[in-house]
């Protein structure tokens, strides 16, 4: 098996060469935020949706737009507002008076990369309309179902500090997102660089597409071939099961703090994301550090805490970190 892994490693290293080109192109616009950009690429290569949460001004929208521009594909930015209707997103039937027939006008959802800006500002009707698109990769208008283009990815942002005019996303929809990323402030040096760059108007050349849509689809096939050892698979299942039955893993103190553990989507997405992360790191196999690096992003929106935990001001991140500390690393 070691010979196979070695050959696979060489193939992955060669086929993932374009990742460095993407990162270089993105770095011309985005200062720092390396972890966020890497995870956007993980989503791209593992066919998973992402939601980014952070205060205004942290380049969430700009990062998504910049990554999208490195792919020569159709990008659509949707600004979610309280008066948005499902038809504004999906499209609708239009009556043609001239010949007395109806025709379908497709909405902006029919694109490859969707930026759902401030997704929590739209009401439940719009959120439910988005569910089918995200999960089934299709849209139903009247009695006709239309497949969405491939690749299709929803990259959403939400602002955690404003409550007025926002609608909390239902758990069923949040679970559809492969990852929930928390975007933090830049370091002092990064902020200095941002300030210097932004002080010059029109100084940055436009982002050039680095890859084609077919390159993404080919990369996804390559990601499928990345080797995952059985010990790594068991490690993933142990982490997820510890969120459901913490007492079986010597974490009895967490039992009254967790209302609902992570769903099977967590196991699936954690292994998929780890394989894509290995691809980005130009490696043909998954290591435990890949899983530990991504566990918070995959699990933070899937582990629902009790009122008791909220009263103690505990966060799901703290609970997951305790689990990662306790579970033995293979």
Task: Please compute the mean of the pLDDT values over residues 305-320 and round it to a whole number.
Answer: 86
Q: How many CB atoms lie within 10 A of CB 59?
A: 20
Looking from the CA of 174 toward its CB, the CA atoms found within 13 Å total: 21
pLDDT band at 235 (very low <50, low <70, confident <90, very high): very high
* Helix axes 288-299 and 34-46, enclosed angle (nearest 10): 90
Top-confidence range, 54-63, 92-101, 179-188, 259-268: 259-268
pLDDT digits (tens, 9 = 90+) for 183-231: 878 888 888 887 877 776 666 667 778 888 888 888 888 888 888 888 9
Is residue 12 pLDDT above 90, yes or no?
A: no
- Give residue 273's pLDDT: 93
Distance CA 46, CA 81 (A): 29
Residue 202's alpha-carbon distances to 29, 55, 199, in angstroms, are 12, 25, 10
Distance CA 276, CA 261 (A): 24
147 sits in which H/E element: strand 144-147
CB 253 within 8 A of CB 309: no
- Give residue 275's pLDDT: 92
pLDDT digits (tens, 9 = 90+) for 46-82: 888 988 887 777 777 778 788 888 888 888 888 888 8
Task: Please compute the mean of the pLDDT values over residues 249-264 and round it to a whole number.
Answer: 86
- Give residue 190's pLDDT: 80
- Give residue 297's pLDDT: 92
pLDDT digits (tens, 9 = 90+) for 238-256: 999 999 888 888 888 888 8
pLDDT band at 1 (very low <50, low <70, confident <90, very high): very low
Distance CA 117, CA 113 (A): 12
- Give residue 271's pLDDT: 93
Of 73-77, 112-116, 157-161, 234-238, which range is least confident?
Answer: 157-161
Question: What number of helices (H) and strands (E) belong to the chain?
Answer: 14, 11
For the chain, domains (ranges, CATH) are 2-187+212-219 (3.40.50.300), 226-326 (1.10.8.80)
Distance CA 228, CA 1 (A): 12
pLDDT band at 166 (very low <50, low <70, confident <90, very high): low
Q: Which residues pair with 147 in a beta bridge?
A: 138
pTM for this prediction:
0.83
- Quote the percentage of the chain above a pLDDT of 90: 10
- Give residue 68's pLDDT: 82
Q: Where are the alpha helices (DSSP H) in the chain?
A: 2-15, 18-27, 34-46, 60-69, 86-90, 124-136, 171-174, 188-198, 213-224, 230-244, 264-280, 288-299, 307-311, 316-326
Task: Please compute the mean of the pLDDT values over residues 265-294 and round it to a whole number.
Answer: 90
Is residue 162 pLDDT above 80, yes or no?
A: no
Q: Show Cβ contacts of residue 139 under 8 Å, excluding neighbours closer than 6 positions.
A: 90, 91, 106, 107, 109, 110, 132, 133, 145, 146, 148
What's the mean per-residue pLDDT of the chain?
Answer: 83
Phi-psi region of 137 (alpha: psi -120 to 50; beta: other; left: phi over 0): left
Torsion angle of C-alpha atoms 263, 264, 266, 269, degrees rounded to 10: -150
Top-confidence range, 119-128, 172-181, 232-241: 232-241
């Amino acid at each position: 098996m070691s010979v196979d892994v070695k050959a696979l490693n060489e193939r992955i290293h060669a086929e993932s060469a374009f990742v460095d080109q993407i990162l270089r192109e993105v770095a011309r616009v985005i200062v720092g935020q390396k972890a966020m950009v890497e995870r956007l690429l993980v989503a791209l290569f593992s066919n998973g949706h992402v939601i980014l949460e952070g205060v205004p001004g942290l380049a969430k929208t700009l990062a998504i737009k910049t990554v999208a521009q490195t792919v020569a594909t159709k990008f659509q930015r949707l600004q979610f507002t309280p008066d948005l209707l499902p038809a504004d997103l999906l499209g609708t039937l239009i009556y043609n008076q001239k010949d007395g027939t109806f025709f379908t006008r497709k909405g902006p959802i029919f694109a490859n990369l969707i930026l759902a800006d401030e997704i929590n500002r739209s009401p439940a009707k719009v959120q439910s309309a988005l569910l089918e698109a995200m999960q089934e990769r299709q849209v139903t208008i009247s009695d006709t179902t239309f497949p969405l283009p491939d690749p299709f990815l929803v990259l959403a942002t939400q602002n955690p500090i404003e409550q007025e005019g926002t609608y909390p996303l239902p758990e069923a929809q949040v679970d559809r997102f492969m990852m929930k990323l928390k975007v933090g402030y830049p370091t002092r040096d990064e902020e200095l660089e941002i300030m210097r760059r932004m002080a010059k108007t029109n100084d940055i050349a436009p982002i050039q597409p680095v890859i084609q849509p077919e390159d993404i689809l080919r990369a996804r096939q390559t990601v499928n071939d990345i080797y995952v050892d059985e010990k790594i698979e068991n490690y993933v299942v142990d982490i997820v099961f510890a969120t459901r039955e913490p007492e079986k893993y010597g974490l009895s103190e967490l039992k009254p703090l967790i209302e609902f553990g992570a769903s099977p989507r967590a196991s699936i997405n954690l292994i998929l994301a780890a394989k894509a992360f290995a691809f980005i790191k130009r490696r043909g196999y998954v290591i435990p550090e890949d899983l530990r690096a991504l566990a918070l992003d995959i699990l933070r929106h899937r582990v629902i805490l009790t009122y008791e935990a909220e009263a103690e001001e505990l966060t799901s991140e703290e609970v997951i970190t305790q689990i990662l500390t306790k579970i033995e690393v293979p």
